[in-house]
Every structure is written in structure tokens, then in C-alpha cells.
Amino acid sequence: MTNISRRTLLKSSAATAAGVVAAGALTTASASSKRVVIVGGGIGGATAAQYLKKMDSSIDVTIVEANKDYYTCFMSNEVLSGERTLESIHFTYEKLVAKGIKVVFDQVTGIDAKAQTVSTAGGKSLGYDRCIVSPGVDFKYDKVEGYSAEVSNTSIPHAWKAGPQTAMLRKQLEEMKDGGTVVICPPGNPFRCPPGPYERVSQIASYLKEHKPNSKIVVLDPKEKFSKFGLFMDGWKRHYGYGTDKSLIKWIKKSEGGTVTKVDVASKTVTCEAGTFKADVLNIIPFQKAGKIAFTAGLTNDKGWCPIDHKTFESKIHKNIHVVGDSAIASPLPKSAYAANSEAKVCAAAVASLLNGVEMVEPSWVNTCYSVIAPGDGISVAMVYAYKDGKIIKVKGSGGLTGAYDAELRKREVLYAHSWFANITADVFG
Ligand SMILES: Cc1cc2nc3c(=O)[nH]c(=O)nc-3n(C[C@H](O)[C@H](O)[C@H](O)COP(=O)(O)OP(=O)(O)OC[C@H]3O[C@@H](n4cnc5c(N)ncnc54)[C@H](O)[C@@H]3O)c2cc1C
């Protein structure tokens, strides 16, 4: 491939990074001396791998991923309500391998920025020219006395990484008696998927309304407000009697003492200023920080997230290492799968440009977050982002929130949500 044709490809790919489909695959005869190792094969990592290969097939792309099975967090709240199965959010890596991407199932234990190597628990050492890190989030268990990773795996799941904990939480909801209390404790900002805890409240409320109508949900929140606040409140009133004596949902915010500080694991009782609350089913979603390997590799700042250049996603701490997805500080982009997917495309364009010695073009990003409040009642928030003066900015007038209630439109939002799920998972794992 000539430099000119590669440059053209990179430009067109980056320009469409915000969209679902980038430029088509190209083949090249040039020998590969361009090694990219990707740490974490979730949404950010798998997208980056796919798009690097599409942009320049001569790049040697290796993903190192801890698990053979990936369960999407998005739509996992529908598993909790019984709307879909766990299998429907399960993805594997065969299709990536078929496209020439190397996938190593192992835990990355270190990244040596000087030697440019990635080391694994299985004893491998992989050299790279550029490394892309997308390890998702880790949890600050110590914010709630008595809670821990072990407790989350055995009796009080956070289910904020989809998979076995999602199945455990679903089983607990199924086994709960009618008239039981579900206590949900969302985290403080910033965290993965800002509307996620409230979509979860809605989905569980929908299940209880139909199957266990005498039950209640208590939400103990360390925040005053949350994403799509007005739309959720409106939906909770419409479907779950919110604000009345018969409300299925009680939401206790920070100023009402909603910040949970302690849990008694045996009795599933949590303590906050508002009082003590005994749950039949307890879901503590811990405060969050960058994925563990980001700390080990020295990629985090004092707030526990990874500072990056907003155009290339290269770490501001270590050269030749890029960070995308939830671990990266890419605000105003949210910590969402759609944003991780969009960031990974821009990062892939940057890495392919850098490896080929061509200039990176102006990037742009897109994000939409759907939430289904009740069957046939979907809402969304959308935004397009641009790059200006070294920063990611929101494009004024783009996107926005779902408008006032309109039954037909709300049904369509649910269809859009499900078709978005099909499209993004095909883009990432297909
Ligand atoms: C309940 C819920 C609902 C959500 N709904 C939506 C939604 O509707 N829309 C939306 O856009 N987003 C949604 N999200 C957010 C979305 O799931 C995340 O933002 C997205 O997965 C982030 O991608 P990532 O690549 O940063 O992390 P992940 O997708 O979590 O990928 C990280 C990967 O890295 C691997 N890994 C980590 N450390 C290592 C290591 N040391 N060695 C090897 N592998 C490692 C992990 O195994 C994992 O596969 C939701 C999240 C939750 C919890």
C-alpha cells in the first residue's frame, strides 16, 4: 500500500469514527513491524483491535483478555427483570481471530513502558510498538464497611460487571417472597454508565410489579440527582406510583442521608444517615476507579483515573501507551459502551497514523444511552462530540433527551435500544 492510499484510508476511517461502520478492509503487502498489544478485550479493546485491522491490515494486533466469555453490561438489567437471558448478552472472540487478530487469554500483570512489554500471569512477555489499554473499571469496596470483592461474589452481588453476578442477582430476585424489600445502593460520580443504576431500579420494579406486587425497592443514593433525572422520575410516576403512598420505589438522596457507609452481610442490613435498612435482596454498586492494571502500570492520577491526550488517547504519563473506555478521563464523554466504542475507533486511527508516520485527522465521537423504564417505554440521551483546543467538547445543538411522553415514540425508543444493542455488538465482536 502506498502512503497516499493509507493516508486516505486513515482519514476516512477517523472521519467516520463516530459512526458504526468505518472504512472497509484493505490488504497490504508490506511486512509487519508494527506491533500493537491491547490490554482488555471488552468494548474498547475489541473495537480498537477490529478497527486497527480494518485501517491497516499489516499491523500485528494482539488482544490479551482475562476471560474467554464476555457478557455485555448493557442490557444486563433486562436479564435481571427476566426480559432476556444471560446467553443473549454473551459474546466470544472467534470472529476476531478469523480476521487475523491474535487473542491471548491471560491476565496482564504488568506493562513496562520503558521496555515496551506487556507481561502476563501465565508468564508471557509481549513486545509492542504501541499498547492500548481498556481494562474497564475496578471497585472501591472500602467505601462501605463490611463490603468486599468476596462478599460481592458470594452473597451481595454488585452485578456491575455482567456475568455470574448478574445470574446471582436474578436468582435472588426470583427467590424473594412477594412483599420483600430490594435495596439498591448506587455509587457516587464518576462511574460506569450514569443512567445504569436507575435503569436497573426501573427493570426490577417492572418485574416486581408483575410478579411480586407487594414488594418495594429502596434506593439509597450518595447523589442529589442523576442522569435523565426528569425522565426517570416521570416514568416512575407513570408506572410505579412514585411520589404516592403506594409507590413501589422509594428514593433517598444524599441530602436525605442516602449515603451508605456500612453493611452487615449476614442480615443484609445497610446503614446510612437516613437509618438502617434490612433487605431481602441487596445490591451495592461500589464507587469506582480505573481497572487495576492501569494502577499497576502507573497510568492513573491521584483521583484514580487515566489522564490522556484527547486526540490520540495516548497516556499523559507514559508514551506509546493509549487508554480508552471507562478507565480514561475523556469527559464530557460518559463512561459508556457507546463512548468506549467511539473512543476506540479514534484511538485506532491515531495509532495507525502514528505507526505509518502520517498525520491524524480531526476526530469526532458520538454517544447515545438508552434506558427502558417499563415494557414499551424507552428513553435516551444522545450527543455528538468534537475536538477543539486540545479537548473533547459537546457539539451544541446535537443530540438531546427524549421529549415529553408520547406512547408511540416511547415504543420506538425501545426498538431503537434493542437495535443499537444488535449493531454495537456486531461491530465489536462480529
Ligand atoms: C448495568 C449496566 C448497564 C449498562 N448499559 C449501558 C448502555 O445501555 N449503553 C452503554 O453505552 N453503556 C452501558 N454500560 C456501560 C458499558 O458496559 C461500559 O462503559 C463499557 O463496557 C466500557 O468498556 P471498556 O472497554 O472500558 O470496559 P469493559 O467492556 O469492561 O472491558 C474490559 C475488559 O478488560 C479485561 N481486563 C481487565 N483487566 C485485565 C487484565 N489485567 N488482563 C486482561 N484482561 C483484563 C476484562 O476482562 C474485560 O473484558 C452499562 C454498564 C452497566 C454496568
151-189: per-residue pLDDT in tens? 999 999 999 999 999 999 999 999 999 999 999 999 999
What is the model's pLDDT at position 26? Answer: 36
Is the confidence at residue 21, as pLDDT, over 80?
A: no
Is the confidence at residue 287, as pLDDT, over 50?
A: yes
24 three-class SS: coil
Q: Is the distance from the beta carbon of residue 40 to the nearest atom of ligand 1 less than 6 Å?
A: yes
Nearest CA to ligand 1 atom 53: 160
Is residue 361 very low, low, confident or very high in pLDDT (cuts 50, 70, 90)? confident
CA-CA-CA-CA torsion sign (302, 305, 311, 315): positive
Is the confidence at residue 15, as pLDDT, over 50?
A: no
The grid coordinates of residue 260 equal 451508605
What's the pLDDT tens digit per position in 404-425?
A: 999 999 999 999 999 999 999 9
198 three-class SS: helix
Q: To the nearest whole number, what is the mean pLDDT of the chain?
A: 93
Closest CA to 350 of 111, 116, 103, 11: 11
What is the model's pLDDT at position 426? Answer: 98
Which homologous superfamily does the CATH classification assign to the domain defined by 140-284?
A: FAD/NAD(P)-binding domain (3.50.50.60)
- φ, ψ for residue 165, nearest 5 deg: -70, -30
Q: Is the distance from the beta carbon of residue 65 to the nearest atom of ligand 1 less than 6 Å?
A: yes
What's the pLDDT tens digit per position in 182-232?
A: 999 999 999 999 999 999 999 999 999 999 999 999 999 999 999 999 999
The grid coordinates of residue 10 equal 486513515
Q: Is the distance from the beta carbon of residue 76 to the nearest atom of ligand 1 less than 6 Å?
A: yes
Asked if omega into 186 is within 30° of 0 (cis), the reply is: no
The rounded distance, in Å, linking the Cα atoms of 53 and 176 is 48
Closest CA to 79 of 183, 179, 165, 175: 165
Q: Is the distance from the beta carbon of residue 190 to the nearest atom of ligand 1 less than 6 Å?
A: no
The b-or-e profile of 187-201 (16+ CB within 10 A means b, else e) is beebbbbbbbbbbbb
The grid coordinates of residue 97 equal 481471530
Atom of ligand 1 nearest to the CA of 293: 41
Closest CA to 222 of 280, 270, 287: 287
Is the confidence at residue 27, as pLDDT, over 70?
A: no
Atom of ligand 1 nearest to the CA of 326: 26
Q: For residue 121, how far is its CA from the centre of ligand 1 (angstroms)? A: 21
Residue scoring higher pLDDT (237 or 8)? 237
What is the model's pLDDT at position 10? Answer: 52
Task: Tell me the mean pLDDT in the region 285-295.
Answer: 98
C-alpha gyration radius of the chain: 22
What is the model's pLDDT at position 19? Answer: 37
What is the model's pLDDT at position 294? Answer: 98
What is the model's pLDDT at position 17? Answer: 45
**Is CATH 1.20.810.10 correct for 3-66+106-136+291-362?**
no
187 three-class SS: coil
Do 3-66+106-136+291-362 and 140-284 agree at the fold level?
yes
Domain ranges of the chain: 3-66+106-136+291-362, 140-284
| 375 and 82 Cβ atoms separated by less than 8 Å | no
185 three-class SS: strand
| 428 and 51 Cβ atoms separated by less than 8 Å | no
